[in-house]
Amino acid sequence: MPLVLFAASCTARPTTATTDSGSIERGQLREVRVALQTNARRVSLSASGGWQLSDNGGATTIARAGADDAWIVEPAGPLLLRANRADAMPTASRRGPLIARSTDSRALISVNGKKYRGEIAITATDSGMLVVNRLDVESYLRGVVPLEIGTRRVAGEAAAISAQAIAARSYTYMKLGALRARPFDLVATVFDQVYGGADAETVLADQAVSATQGLVLTFRGRVVSAPYHSTCGGSTASASEVWRSPDEPFLRPVSDRIPGTERYYCDVSPRFSWTRTYDAPALSATLAKYLSTYAAVPARGVGSTRDVTVDGNTPSGRVRTLGVTADGRRYALRGNDIRFVLRTPGGEILNSTYFTVHAEHDAGGAVSRLTLRGAGNGHGIGMCQWGAIGRARAGQDFRTILATYYPGTAVATVD
């Protein structure tokens, strides 16, 4: 059964929302600048059709190329670039930025084999090259939504995909030009929103982006940043529970319990509940590697761990402060910092701060085994993505989903 998007219900009342930078006028597609790499050493450029490479920000054409032509861009000295065909001798160095854009409306530019819409700008930096994809917001979202909400195939999940598109669009608009001195608006990783370019696009996500074009989340007439996460584990959190930031009235704890049951909308998530265990060597290695970033550790190191305790919980039940006692010193880890300290040996951060602690001790009083039993995945603030999926399966539309996870907000049109 194909998914049916609620296209007819996507038409919002024609309002003009605003951001902190001012109003966003209707009828225009805004450009977003996405940093694909910030310290590249070598970039291979090609395209699926005709394209050109230009210097001086696009003012001077270096080459006109076809679908089979690949060019290599590399640093050529302090703040200089060198571009040459893959099968030719290097050309003269250039200051750039170098711009790669298609001359065929159907062609996509490839960066190291990955396809992107819009154009690619490469700028020399002190440490390498900055590679930025410049394209309109709607095209950008096509490469974001399927990676953030996952490749959805189950009938009835369309409302969750649409809610994701609106949340991601709102976040994007809030980032446009926010740091004016920076030559890009967002990065293509979890530090902003995961972006995979044209290779990540799916039919269902494309339909959701198109059906909700220009729709953003607003509070009192202004576009708001709409954070989201994988799985709340039973309840979302307010911002101050996890981050070092003030609370917002539209970001407060929301229960994900299904009315009249003991189940939760997000309990279909593979990380609704989880357990992580550290033996003594793993715990020591983890604390030795990561604790000093978030606490003052003596030069001799952390030493033997004597205890790990929960020293307070937040209103939604998450760990407010985690106490770690080692060699006579006590370290207090707060909020999201806990996730970045208690990593796996491979570096994966802790799923969430929604957990309980059980520490076992050896005969000498040191922690021999630490077990965390937790719920949820992610920071827990804003929309629970698996909860949105569960709510969509239960028949809720995207407006209901967004109003639930962002209380007091409204959907408005900016484009």
Max CA distance (Å), the chain: 74
On the question of pLDDT at 85 being above 90, the answer is no
Contacting residues for 261 by C-beta, under 8 A, at least 6 apart: none
CB 220 within 8 A of CB 407: no
Average pLDDT for 213-222: 95
Tokens at residue 378, please? 């992610």
Query: Other C-beta atoms within 10 Å of 397: how many?
Result: 17
Angle, helices 158-175/203-211, rounded to nearest 10 degrees: 60
CA distance 30 to 23: 12
Average pLDDT for 390-414: 96
On the question of pLDDT at 89 being above 70, the answer is no
On the question of pLDDT at 31 being above 70, the answer is yes
pLDDT at 28: 59
On the question of pLDDT at 21 being above 50, the answer is no
Average pLDDT for 6-28: 41
Q: H helices within 200-274, ranges in order?
A: 203-211, 239-242
Average pLDDT for 355-368: 96
CA distance 360 to 373: 14
Tell me what the pLDDT averaged over the chain comes to: 90
| Band (328; pLDDT cuts 50, 70, 90) | confident
Angle, helices 398-405/158-175, rounded to nearest 10 degrees: 50
Nearest partner of 359 among 347, 371, 349, judged by Cα: 371
- pLDDT tens for 154-176 read 769 999 999 999 999 999 999 99
CB 380 within 8 A of CB 233: yes
Strand blocks (E) in 249-385? 273-279, 305-310, 321-326, 329-334, 355-361, 367-375, 383-384
The total number of residues shown for the chain amounts to 415
Angle, helices 385-393/398-405, rounded to nearest 10 degrees: 140
- pLDDT tens for 97-108 read 999 999 998 899
On the question of pLDDT at 86 being above 90, the answer is no
CA distance 344 to 354: 17
Average pLDDT for 248-270: 96
Q: H helices within 212-256, ranges in order?
A: 239-242
CA distance 324 to 281: 16
CA distance 208 to 332: 43
